[in-house]
Amino acid sequence: MNDPLRILVVDDEAIVGKRLKPILEKSGYQVDVCESGTLALERLSEKTFDIVVTDVRMDDVDGMQVLARVLATSPSTKVIIITGYATVELAREALTKGAFDFIAKPFKPDDLRGVISKAVAQLEAESVSTVD
């Protein structure tokens, strides 16, 4: 994996994308930001991402729908759910539907960086096993 990993951040709170984009770019990732689920679905139809970070509660298309679309079109993509309304039920639903991880807001940038590092490690392990 020599090209920078592509990450899509989806959150209808503009401030989340604005804050995360420079932080993740600084870590060497290529980052796109969408401020709605609908825009995210459009972007996903144009481009494949290695990692998608999505909020759950959004007005038009919610994070679970984004998760389903991502995994239907790119099963190896790691989807990380972020939400200010975390519950056991929602976390388990996200995992059952294939989410890689689930983070409650508010979180520290380091928390997300840690989860993304784990996702990257898994992507690398999967790419090695595919080559083998």
Give me 43's structure tokens: 């972007």
With binding defined as CB under 8 A, does residue 96 bind another protein? yes
Applying CB under 8 A, the site for another protein has a residue count of 18
With binding defined as CB under 8 A, does residue 15 bind another protein? no
With binding defined as CB under 8 A, does residue 22 bind another protein? no
34/116 with CB nearer another protein: 116
- Using DSSP's 3-state secondary structure scheme, residue 55 falls into strand
Instruction: Find the shortest distance in angstroms from Cβ 131 to another protein.
Output: 26
Instruction: Find the shortest distance in angstroms from Cβ 15 to another protein.
Output: 18
Give me 11's structure tokens: 């959150």
- Using DSSP's 3-state secondary structure scheme, residue 51 falls into strand
Instruction: Find the shortest distance in angstroms from Cβ 24 to another protein.
Output: 16
- Using DSSP's 3-state secondary structure scheme, residue 103 falls into strand
With binding defined as CB under 8 A, does residue 115 bind another protein? yes
d(CA 62, CA 77): 18
With binding defined as CB under 8 A, does residue 39 bind another protein? no
Sign of CA dihedral 25, 125, 104, 52: positive
With binding defined as CB under 8 A, does residue 129 bind another protein? no
d(CA 41, CA 70): 8
Binding stretches for another protein (CB under 8 A): 84-88, 91-93, 95-96, 101-104, 108, 111, 114-115
